[in-house]
Amino acid sequence: MQDAFAAAVERWPIEGTPTNPRSWLISTGRFKAIDRLRKTRREVDADVEVIAELPEEPYDLVDDRLRLIFTCCHPALNPDAQVAMTLREICGLTTEEVAAAFLTNPPTLAQRIVRAKAKIRDARIPYEVPEQRDLPERLASVLHVVYLVFNQGYFRRADLALEAIRLGRLLAELLPEPEAIGLLALMLLHDARRQSRTTTTGELIPLEEQDRSLWNREQIQEGVSLVERAFGLRQIGPFQLQAAIAAVHAEAATPADTDWTEIVGLYDVLMRADPSPVIELNRAAAVAMRDGPEHGLTLIDEILARKELTEYHLAHAARADLFRRLGTKPEAIAAYQQALALAVEEPERRLLQRRLRELGVQATT
Amino acid sequence: MRYLCLIYEDEKWWDKATQSDLQQGMAEYNGFTESIKKAGNYIGGEALQPTKSATSVRVRNGKLSTTDGPYVETKEQLGGYYLIKAKDLNEAVQVASRIPGAKHGTVEVRPVMEFDQP
């Protein structure tokens, strides 16, 4: 097996159209066809729980695809290359498309992929699904890549988000581990709000201002039942917890109906499972909703006082939002300006500029 | 396939270690070495004396220069190595993860360049 794979990697088409497509690349195409067939069947039989569907293609084909995912997302490969290879080899995007999504030029990206493939060959990264004892760590690495693809789709390309969901669905089907199911749920729940997240002109609409009638109820329902299913497996992890938080938001009929106590509780568990300053920031925002803005501000200022997230625009934006709700205008303006100085994504910048205009300031940058 | 596992650790740890720390450290390494000999992964391995005993040698334009110490100052220093046999990187990583030094230092796993036999 190893030798066959090493040979395949050597002949792996490096750029452009393969002149002599390898069998497993052909099988990638076959999966697409199978997926299309499945989709059609799903439309007909929509109330069948997708996750319960067992893969129907021959075992070796399923196995082949899983092996390919685990190889592309091997933690010994450069993280950028993992994402790029996944998009190219599994989702079937061209190098140009991947490069455009990551704001890099095709030659740089192609170079990255070439290096990764050389490492697969030279360090002998096996073409296999990891053994049980390595599975948690290796699956985490795969799920991380899928989530990166999803997030990349958030601003730039909705189709990347859909690719990530497709991939997440496949993983949850083939390897129904709690965190795989949790990630699929998280992506479905976030994606369910896609229609309401931006105006027709591309302006961002914050959660509390979104038209909830535009939320995709069916998708939310699927996400919620996936969270329940994952929790039932009793191996709680960060993706499941984030999905549960998204589910609480998604199930609130109005912003005022949001169960902030539940959300803060979930963040408390998340902080224990996967502590990070960003989670702490989100928890602070939830505490502000439950106990009042001043409580949230105290928590955010504690994070910043530790010199963490000081360069993270959303930390300043969150502070600014809380000052705005407290009605302390000068502090709100200062914090929005700090956030604006750090924000990169155009839609986020325009939202911050809108906030500043609402506070009577004409944005200078 | 052969892999060289380079063990980088803060060598000051060994300076500060008590007698029982040293004994425990040695016992862990001996146990690990035995286990990979039994499993058939072991080819060779040595512990190195601290970097204060190191000498760097360079020849530039035919002129020999000998200087004290390692090439670069780092937080973790090369303290020893194992040369192992493994079927692929996954197995090599498994072996490397059990090297006692991996718990506080870093183990760099490098595939050995295999040259065609003449």
* pLDDT single digits (tens) A230-243: 999 999 999 999 99
CA-based torsion, A66, A69, A72, A73: positive or negative: negative
**Which residues of A touch chain B, with CB atoms under 8 Å apart?**
2, 74, 76, 122-126, 128, 130-131, 134
**pLDDT in the model for residue A156:** 65
**DSSP single-letter state for residue A215:** S
Q: Is B88's CB within 8 Å of A122's CB?
A: no
Phi, psi (deg, nearest 5) at residue B67: -130, 160
Mean pLDDT of the A113-124 span:
93
Residue A46, in any domain of the structure? yes
Question: A with B: how many residue pairs have Cβ under 8 Å apart?
Answer: 26
Length of chain A: 365
Which DSSP string corresponds to A142-204? Answer: HHHHHHHHHHHHHHT-HHHHHHHHHHHHHHHHHS--HHHHHHHHHHHHHHTTHHHHB-TT--B
- Predicted pLDDT of residue A28: 41
Interface test with chain A among B91, B93, B106, B108, by most A beta carbons within 10 Å: B93
Instruction: Choose between A264 and A96: higher pLDDT.
Output: A264
Q: Which of A86, A177, A95, A88 is nearest to A130 (CA)?
A: A177
In what helix (H) or strand (E) does residue A55 lie, and over which residues does it extend? none
Q: CA-nearest residue of chain B to A135? A: B90
Letter string b/e over residues A37-49, b meaning 16 or more CB atoms within 10 A of that residue's CB: ebeeeeeeeeeee
Dihedral over alpha carbons B97, B98, B104, B107 (to 10 degrees): -50
Average pLDDT, chain A: 83
CA–CA separation, A180 vs A165, rounded Å? 11
pLDDT at A298: 97
Q: Which long-range contacts (CB under 8 A, 24 or more apart) does A69-73 make?
A: A69/A142, A69/A167, A69/A171, A70/A128, A70/A129, A70/A130, A70/A138, A70/A142, A71/A120, A71/A125, A71/A126, A71/A127, A71/A128, A72/A145, A73/A138, A73/A141, A73/A142, A73/A144, A73/A145
Q: How many CA atoms lie within 13 A of A234 on its CB side?
A: 0
| Mean pLDDT across A234-259 | 95
Q: Rounded mean pLDDT of A316-333?
A: 96
pLDDT for residue A45: 39
Answer yes or no: are the C-beta atoms of A64 and A123 closer than 8 Å. no
* Residue of higher predicted confidence among A58 and A309: A309
Residue A212 — pLDDT band, cuts 50, 70, 90? very high
Chain A residues in contact with B115 by the CB 8 A cut-off are none
Q: List chain B residues with pLDDT less than 70.
A: none
Compute the nearest-CA separation of A124 from chain B (Å): 5
Asked casually if ipTM beats, i.e. exceeds, 0.90, the reply is no
Q: Which residues contact B26 (CB under 8 A, 6 or more apart)?
A: none
Please tell me which residue, A32 or A93, carries the higher pLDDT value.
Answer: A93
Spatial contact of A152 and A160, defined as CB atoms under 8 Å apart: yes
Residue A133, domain member (yes or no): yes
Domain that holds residue A21: 1-176
Q: How far is B98 from chain A (nearest CA, A)?
A: 13
- The distance of A21 to chain B (nearest Cα, Å) reads 26
On whether any CB of chain A is under 8 Å from the CB of B114, the answer is: no
pLDDT of A59 reads 52
Query: Does residue A275 lie in a domain region?
Result: no
The mean pLDDT value for A227-232 works out to 96
Q: Which residue has the higher pLDDT, A6 or A248?
A: A248
State the pLDDT at residue A268.
97
The answer to whether residue A225 is domain-embedded is no
Contact of B93 with chain A, judged by CB distance below 8 Å, is answered with yes
Which one of A1, A70, A124 makes the best mutation probe of the B interface by having the most chain B beta carbons within 10 Å?
A: A124
Q: What is the pLDDT of residue A32?
A: 43
Q: What are the percentages of helix, strand and coil residues in chain A, rounded to 5?
A: 75, 0, 25
Give the residue from chain B lying closest to A76, CA to CA. B89
CB A1 within 8 A of CB A127: yes
CB A278 within 8 A of CB A242: no
Q: Å from A33 to nearest chain B CA?
A: 32
Question: What domains can you pick out in chain B, each with its CATH number?
Answer: 2-111 (3.30.70.1060)
| Cβ–Cβ below 8 Å for A2 and B111 | no
A128/B94 CB distance under 8 A: no
Contact residues on chain B for A130, CB-CB shorter than 8 A: 90
| Residues 6+ positions from A50 with CB-CB distance below 8 Å | A42, A169, A173, A222
Chain A residues closer than 8 Å to B4 by CB: none
Is residue A46 pLDDT above 50, yes or no? no
**What pLDDT, in 10s, does the model give residues A6-38?**
334 433 333 333 333 333 333 343 344 444 444
- Using a CB-CB cut-off of 8 Å, the residues of chain B touching A2 are 87-88
Using CB atoms and an 8 Å cut-off, which of residues 31-60 of chain B contact chain A?
A: none
Asked whether residue A317 is domain-assigned, the answer is no
The per-residue pLDDT for A58 is 52
Q: Output the pLDDT for position B16.
A: 87
Say if B88 is an interface residue toward chain A (CB within 8 Å). yes
- B112 interface with A at CB cutoff 8 Å: no
Question: Is residue A153 in some structural domain?
Answer: yes
In angstroms, what CA-CA distances link A273 with A86, A190, A340? 27, 21, 32
- Quote the number of domains for chain A: 1
pLDDT of residue A134: 84
Say if the Cβ atoms of A2 and B88 lie within 8 Å: yes
CA-CA distance, A250 to A224, in Å (whole number)? 9
**pLDDT tens digits for A258-298?**
999 999 999 999 999 989 999 999 999 999 999 999 999 99
DSSP letters spanning A327-348: T-HHHHHHHHHHHHHH--SHHH
Per-residue pLDDT tens over the stretch A172-206: 988 899 999 999 999 999 999 999 998 888 888 99
Determine the Cα–Cα distance for residues B77 and B105; give it in Å rounded to an integer: 9
User: What φ, ψ does residue B106 adopt, rounded to 5°?
Assistant: -130, 135
Q: How far is CA A196 from the centre of its chain?
A: 18
Residues of B in contact with A123 (CB under 8 A): 89, 109, 111
Do residues A225 and A240 touch, judged by C-beta distance below 8 A? no
pLDDT at A72 over 90: yes
Inside any domain, residue A79: yes
Phi, psi of B56 (to 5 degrees): -105, 130
Query: β-pairing, B2-9 with B77-85?
Result: antiparallel
Residue A226 included in any domain: no
pLDDT for A186: 97
Give the minimum alpha-carbon distance from A126 to chain B in angstroms, rounded to a whole number. 6
Residues 6+ apart with CB under 8 A from A263: A245, A248, A249, A286, A289, A290
Q: Which residue has the higher pLDDT, A158 or A296?
A: A296
